[in-house]
Amino acid sequence: MKITFYGQNTLAITIGETNIIVDPFITGNELAKDKVDIMSLKADYILLTHAHQDHILDAAAIAKNTNAVIVSNYEIAMHYQAKGFEVHPMNHGGNWQFDFGNVKYVNAVHTSTFPDGSNGGQPGGFVIEGEHKNIYIAGDTALTMDMKLIPLRTKLDLAILPIGDNFTMGIDDAITASDFVECDKVLGVHYDTFGYIEIDHTEAKRKFYDANKDLMLLEIGASIEL
């Protein structure tokens, strides 16, 4: 499994021959827009955690270019189906065995209104079990006790957690989230994109290190292999 970070909560995940884009927000991100050409992104599936602009902005353009299937909660899936896109609706607690692996849509504590004010259902995250590696994409969320449910079903190899504070968990709560999901290897996302969520990278990494955990912060366009 290869995971590439494209800023905010945007990820490209390759599992075997399958390409997955998560929460595409590139053309609106000052930190990413000149570094990534959305028309060059390959996608068989686009996973959307919730309907906020900083998670869906480029979803329609990428789906149009790639014919990717949009996977999200029921309301978001219906929003895109009405625009003619192929979708796979899910809802909280549900699993589906895709060709690349199992996906579960899990709880997040946040909101999920589309930029135009229409209903984006309830926000979520994804647990992906694929190619003998398991990851948790928390999406935008507060620290929540529901995270303790995840390791009852899945032994995680990586937790992808928001760390920018203000709109989501900050560093200290992300460290506790890492305890709750029983995964000490964390990829930090949802930081530095706007003034409200700028973080001190050195301080963030030191806090994780002091908790005997590993916080990875990737440059935009950089990848890790699991």
- Among Ni ion, Mn ion, none, partner that 58 touches (CB below 5 to 8 angstroms by kind): none
- Residue of 44, 58, 129, 140 that binds Ni ion (CB under 5 A): 140
CA distance 98 to 221: 26
- The single residue listed with the structure tokens 């589906």 is 96
- 158 contacts: CB under 8 Å, gap ≥ 6: 3, 133, 134, 135, 136, 183, 185, 186, 187, 226
Q: Which is nearer to Mn ion, 14 or 79 (CB)?
A: 79
Which chain residues interact with Mn ion by CB under 5 A?
A: 52, 54, 140
The DSSP letter of residue 109 is S
- Residue of 5, 19, 45, 52 that binds Ni ion (CB under 5 A): 52
- Longest Cα separation, the chain: 49
- Among Ni ion, Mn ion, none, partner that 213 touches (CB below 5 to 8 angstroms by kind): none
- Near Ni ion by CB under 5 A, which window of 27-35, 95-103, 134-142, 177-185? 134-142
CA distance 7 to 20: 15
Min. distance of Cβ 43 from Mn ion in angstroms? 20
Q: Which is nearer to Mn ion, 74 or 167 (CB)?
A: 167
Which residues are near Ni ion by CB under 5 A? 52, 140
